[in-house]
A and B are shown apart, each in its own frame.
Chain A
Amino acid sequence: MQIGVFTVGDVTPDPTDGRTPTEAERIQAMVAIALKAEEIGLDVFATGEHHNPPFVPSSPTTLLGYVAARTERLLLSTATTLITTNDPVKIAEDYAMLQHLSGGRVDLMLGRGNTGPVYPWFGQDIRDGLALAVENYALLRRLWREDVVDWEGRFRTPLQGFTATPRPLDGVPPFVWHASIRSPEIAEQAAYYGDGFFHNNIFWDAGHVRRMVQLYRRRFEHYGHGPADTAIVGLGGQFFMRRNSQDAVREFRPYFDNAPVYGHGPSLEDFSTLTALTVGSPQQVIDKTLSFREVAGDYQRQLFLVDHAGLPLKTVLEQLDLFGEEVLPELRREYAASKPAHVPDAPTHESLKAAAVAREEVPA
């Protein structure tokens, strides 16, 4: 099981004192969170991609390249990379470059984005969102897998004799996750290619998450990638904890009540019941997180949102320290004990390379 954190990089005022971090502070905070993730033994740090205020991470590979240089183990990922409005040629190039610089510590999570105007700003139409995700990803795969590509499609200029450089590290493209909250077509896409499927269940109820993940698992088997319970699934999560659960609720409530997305809506209590949010003691975080297996089956990646809604960096780092001390060892022990032997781990560069070598597609 890969356990990690993801950030959306929002610059949000702290509702308890009204202070808004500068962009410079927020960017440095994201780096500090990534370094803390490695320090406490997490596996993954993932960044969002946005092209509008109040978000800062418009350039994920710049951030991840910097984090790669300052870490040794951490797997660097995205949450999500906009497959709709980015040029797939540039995605192929940027992430292959990051793969080389990080020594293969990179994968991607593809999404369509949730900000309407981003499509026209990048010359696209939001009504083409699914078609863009399908065509752009089909091209991206070819750019990583074929040295010379001739290609023509609906959404970008044709390519004749094009080679995306650098070629993927060791001839092995980064692993790809497809993320969707509610589009069955994206679960179908992930299943078709045998890629990973990620459900950011922090904003949706468990019944819906179950339906989406089950669809992906059934279709993964249908397309011949293996039994449904061996499909590669990732989930989101969100927690705020203090040793005493009442302290956690009291401290987090103003952040919840004023948060982007769910603030000024349902109560913290209702939202915690419905979604993956846990506000309470470390034991409550452990129990709730382990319960996600009942929704998604034995899965491979659990990412938590920890730095949302104006929480100050100091608090976020405290959260991660507490997570590393009290939650992470318990999760690791329980996952190791419960996962059936035939359920694979999430692919890494090493495992993908070994598989490619075994198939004699790349030299050992």
Chain B
Amino acid sequence: MTTRKLAVISAGVRVPSSTRLLADRLTEATVAALRERGVDADVEVVELREHAHEVLDAVLTGFPAPGLRAAVEAVTGADGVIAVTPIFSGSYNGLFKTFFDGLDDGVLAGKPTLIGATGGTGRHSLALEHAVRPLFTYLRSIVVPTAVYAAPEDWAGGADGVAPLDQRIARAAGELAELVAARPAPEVVDPFADPVVSFAELLGGR
């Protein structure tokens, strides 16, 4: 079996968190879908609440504290990303956005990504399409077609009889697993390895 790395980002602010619950469900389903495709998953969960101060400090000082750097490296080094946020005021919460604000340009480009969100009512479900998906479009991630929104009633199973939460999770996880399994392991470029860009190229105006 080959192995692929999954990074899971959860921006829930309560403990326990329904956002984390959704993230875990999406992760389990993706791991299962990868296994069906002959791929083992190596999962790393980034609970943003644990890095909340570091995330804001990094914006202010310009560099990440070691704990946050490890979290960032888990995400940028992953073969696939599952990113889940609570919807606050019609959009991702500030913690979620600030984490992505701190990433270097291009580090998520081409990375298969599954987006999910939780909220206090099902009426916010399109925030995934209007706010979260455009963020990842800007980051040039490849976002799978199915984004998974969990409203309070979804956890009871009564809300949506046509497309209940577990089916949407399975569909999204299958889409992510398909992309991750088909993709060669990413080349991790170390900007401090030499020579990344030789000086001759720089002088040549590259």
Write the residues of chain A forming the contact surface with B, with a CB cutoff of 8 angstroms. 130-131, 134-135, 138, 154, 181, 184-185, 188-189, 191-192, 203-205, 207-208, 211-212, 214-215, 218-219, 222-223, 261-262, 264-266, 270-271, 274
List 12 additional A-B contacts (Cβ < 8 Å) besides A185-B196, A188-B194, A265-B61.
Answer: A131-B205, A135-B205, A138-B203, A188-B195, A188-B197, A211-B192, A222-B194, A223-B199, A261-B61, A265-B60, A266-B57, A271-B61
Q: Provide the residues of chain B in CB contact with A265, threshold 8 Å.
A: 56-57, 60-61
**What chain B residues lie within 8 Å of A208 (beta carbons)?**
63
Interface: B191 (CB within 8 A): yes
Determine the main DSSP class of B at the interface with A: loop
State A271–B57 Cα separation when bound (angstroms). Answer: 10
Q: How far is the CA of A203 from the CA of B57 in the complex (A)?
A: 12
Query: Does any Cβ of A come within 8 Å of B2's Cβ?
Result: no
List of A residues within 8 angstroms of B196 by Cβ? 184-185, 188
Q: Which chain B positions have C-beta within 8 A of A204? A: 63
B155-199: which residues lie under 8 A (CB-CB) from chain A? 191-192, 194-199
Whether A205 touches B202, Cβ cut-off 8 Å, given contacts A188-B197, A212-B192, is no
> Which residue of B is nearest A154, CB measured?
B205
- Residues of B in contact with A (beta carbons under 8 Å apart): 53, 56-57, 60-63, 65-66, 191-192, 194-199, 202-203, 205
Task: Chain B residues near A211: list those with CB within 8 A.
Answer: 192
Q: Chain A contacts of B195 at CB under 8 A?
A: 188, 219, 222
Chain A contacts of B192 at CB under 8 A? 184, 211-212, 214-215
Note all chain B residues with C-beta closer than 8 A to A189.
199, 202
Q: List 10 A-B contacts (CB under 8 A).
A: A181-B62, A184-B192, A188-B199, A203-B61, A214-B192, A265-B57, A265-B61, A266-B60, A266-B61, A270-B57
Q: Among B53, B57, B61, B194, which residue has its beta carbon within 8 angstroms of that of A215?
A: B194
B63 touches A203 (CB 8 A): yes
Closest to A135 in B: B205
Chain A residues near B65 (CB, 8 Å)? 205, 266, 270, 274
| Min C-beta distance of B63 to chain A, whole Å | 5
| Inter-chain contact B66/A192, CB cutoff 8 Å | no
Q: Are B194's CB and A219's CB within 8 A?
A: yes
Closest to A264 in B: B60
In whole Å, how far is B42's beta carbon from the nearest beta carbon of chain A? 24
* Chain B contacts for A261, CB-based, 8 A: 61-62
Chain A contacts for B63, CB-based, 8 A: 203-205, 208
